[in-house]
């Protein structure tokens, strides 16, 4: 019997497991197929200001999580000696037309009022930040506090740090159902019939969360949304910062690679890379940065983002006692990992969570079954 069983070893599950183990709890992570989740496919943009559609609970949650990243990264470096590629590199959001630039200005007005770092730029000012941007770029906004991370390195470090903190990982373990006795979760049953008991159960199964029996989630509470990425490997680094533009974003790596992402597609659980997506992403990327035209193509891949109907993550406890949800992070699960872990830990420790969780309640319409 563990204190906590965590269903799914993606970024939500691993950061939560690590934080719980550091509080002295015994934690068991059950993972069907390590590497299958969205966390290994992500572009690693820590971009609450880029992603915000106005002020609101999600924007505030994302900003709170960005603020927690330096502490998480430092603790991972201390525990593992690994560099997870966290860089406060800043980000540009750009447009090709004056109308597009005005749209960005309107979108970020609340951020300026809220005192967040945002600088409006014309075309020349944007190119002063990123000289490789093409002459067509008409301006946009510069967000100095946005960051990036390397998700595969983050996942490796989280796993090692969690194991060193005492977390037990079981790969190849597919959870079929959550066991509930008298309204209280008591653990899980695996596909092979084995049961694993725990005082607390944490559901972090990403796009597959609604498929697990007994959670109380509606069948369509979380659906997969495919994202495809194309990697370019220019001979010399083209960009230092993240760039969001029409039709794609560009996320650079220290070694000069540029990740061009990402599509947003309801395509079921099919993780294909398609000709159309590669064409569209490359067309958009080369319009933004023509200097990438001669860059060798690297890998292509895709992943499945956990999409809740209303695009708000599902965080907290629902009708079933001792069952905590930490899923439905959609486009921002890497960004939201540190705050998710803090929320899960607070709820299990019986403490006040760091933010008001009511907008993210598992009991809200469309999410509860």
- Residue from 22, 32, 223, 257 touching ligand FAD (CB under 6 A): that is 32
CB of 202 to ligand FAD, least distance (A): 11
Nearer to ligand FAD, 138 or 341 (CB): 341
Contact residue for ligand FAD among 24, 33, 213, 369 (CB under 6 A): 33
Binder to ligand FAD among 108, 196, 335, 339 (CB under 6 A)? 335
Contact 76, 84 (CB under 8 A): yes
Is residue 72 within 8 A of residue 337, CB to CB? The reply is: yes
Q: Which is nearer to ligand FAD, 44 or 216 (CB)?
A: 44
* CA distance linking residue 64 with residue 14, whole number of Å: 19
State which of residues 41, 76, 132, 339 lies at the interface with ligand FAD (CB under 6 A). Answer: 41
The residue among 38 and 61 lying less far from ligand FAD, judged by its C-beta, is 38
Neighbours of 241 (CB within 10 A): 21
State which of residues 2, 39, 215, 322 lies at the interface with ligand FAD (CB under 6 A): 39
How far is residue 165's CA from residue 131's CA, in Å, rounded to a whole number? 44
Smallest separation (angstroms) from ligand FAD to the CB of 58:
12
**Is-contact 278 228, C-beta < 8 A?**
yes
Closer to ligand FAD by CB, 125 or 280: give it: 280
In the 8-state DSSP scheme, what is residue 98? H
Among 18, 36, 137, 344, binds ligand FAD (CB under 6 A): 36
Strand pairing report for 147-148 and 297-308: unpaired
d(CA 248, CA 338): 26
CA 286 from centroid of its chain's CA atoms:
26
Task: Kindly state the helix (H) or strand (E) to which residue 261 belongs, with its residue range.
Answer: strand 258-261
| 275 vs 225: CA distance, rounded Å | 18
Q: Is the CB of residue 42 less than 8 Å from the CB of residue 85? A: no
Between residue 1 and residue 30, which ones bind ligand FAD under the rule CB under 6 A?
7-13, 30
Q: Which of residues 228-257 bind ligand FAD (CB under 6 A)?
A: 229
Which contacts qualify for 312-315: CB closer than 8 Å, 24 or more apart?
A: 312/57, 312/58, 312/359, 312/360, 313/58, 313/61, 313/340, 313/360, 314/209, 314/217, 314/221, 314/222, 314/360, 314/361, 314/362, 314/367, 315/340, 315/343, 315/357, 315/360, 315/362
- Residues 261 to 300: which contact ligand FAD by CB under 6 A? 261-262
Stretch that binds ligand FAD, among 277-285, 289-297, 301-309, 350-358 (CB under 6 A): 301-309
- DSSP states along 106-171: HHTHHHHHTT---EEEEHHHHHHH-TTS-TT--EEEEETT-EE--HHHHHHHHHHHHHHTTPEEEE
Stretch binding ligand FAD (CB under 6 A), from 33-41, 118-126, 132-140, 279-287 = 33-41
Check residue 43 for interaction with ligand FAD (CB under 6 A).
Answer: yes
* Least distance between ligand FAD and beta carbon 176 (Å): 7
305 binds ligand FAD (CB under 6 A): yes
In angstroms, give the least distance from the CB of 189 to ligand FAD. 11
Nearer to ligand FAD, 15 or 138 (CB): 15
Residues in binding contact with ligand FAD, number by CB under 6 A: 44
Query: What minimum distance in Å lies between the beta carbon of 319 and ligand FAD?
Result: 20
Is residue 306 at the binding interface for ligand FAD, with CB under 6 A as the rule?
yes
Among 175, 217, 238, 315, binds ligand FAD (CB under 6 A): 175
Minimal distance, residue 249 CB to ligand FAD, in Å: 8
Element (H or E) spanning 100, and its range? Answer: helix 98-107
Backbone φ/ψ region at 86: left (φ over 0), alpha (ψ -120 to 50), beta: beta
- Positions touching ligand FAD (CB under 6 A) are 7-13, 30-33, 36-39, 41-45, 173-175, 204-208, 212, 227, 229, 261-262, 303, 305-306, 327, 329-335
């Amino acid at each position: 019997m563990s204190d906590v069983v965590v269903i799914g070893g993606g970024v939500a599950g691993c950061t939560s497991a690590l934080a719980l183990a550091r509080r002295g709890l015994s934690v068991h992570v059950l993972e069907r197929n390590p590497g299958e989740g969205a966390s290994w496919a992500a572009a690693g943009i820590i971009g609450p200001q880029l992603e915000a559609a106005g002020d609101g609970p999600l924007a505030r949650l994302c900003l709170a999580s960005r603020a927690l990243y330096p502490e998480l990264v430092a603790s991972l470096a201390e525990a593992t000696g690994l560099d997870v590629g966290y860089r406060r590199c800043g980000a540009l959001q750009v447009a090709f037309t004056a109308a597009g630039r005005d749209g960005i200005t309107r979108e970020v007005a609340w951020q300026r009022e809220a005192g967040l770092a945002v600088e409006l730029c014309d075309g020349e000012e944007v190119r002063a930040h990123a000289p490789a941007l093409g002459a067509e770029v008409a301006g946009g906004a510069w967000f100095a506090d946005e960051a990036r991370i390397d998700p595969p390195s983050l996942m490796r470090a989280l796993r090692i740090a969690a194991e060193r903190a005492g977390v037990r990982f079981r790969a190849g373990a597919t959870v079929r159902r959550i066991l509930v006795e008298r309204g209280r979760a008591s653990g899980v049953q695996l596909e092979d019939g084995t049961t694993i008991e725990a005082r607390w159960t944490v559901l972090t199964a990403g796009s597959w969360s609604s498929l697990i029996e007994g959670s109380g989630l509606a069948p369509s509470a979380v659906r997969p949304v495919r994202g495809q990425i194309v990697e370019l490997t220019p001979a010399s680094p083209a960009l230092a910062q993240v760039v969001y533009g029409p039709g794609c974003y560009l996320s650079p790596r220290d070694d000069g690679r540029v990740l061009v992402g990402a599509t947003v597609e309801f395509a079921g659980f099919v993780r294909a890379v398609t000709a159309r997506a590669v064409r569209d992403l490359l067309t958009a990327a080369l319009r933004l940065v023509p200097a990438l035209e001669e860059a060798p193509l690297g890998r292509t891949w895709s992943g499945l983002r956990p999409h809740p109907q209303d695009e708000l993550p599902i965080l907290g406890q629902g009708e079933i006692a001792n069952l905590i949800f930490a899923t439905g992070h959609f486009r921002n699960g890497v960004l939201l990992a540190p705050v998710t872990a803090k929320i899960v830990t607070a709820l299990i420790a019986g403490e006040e969570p760091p933010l008001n969780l009511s907008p993210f309640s598992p009991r809200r319409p469309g999410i509860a079954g």
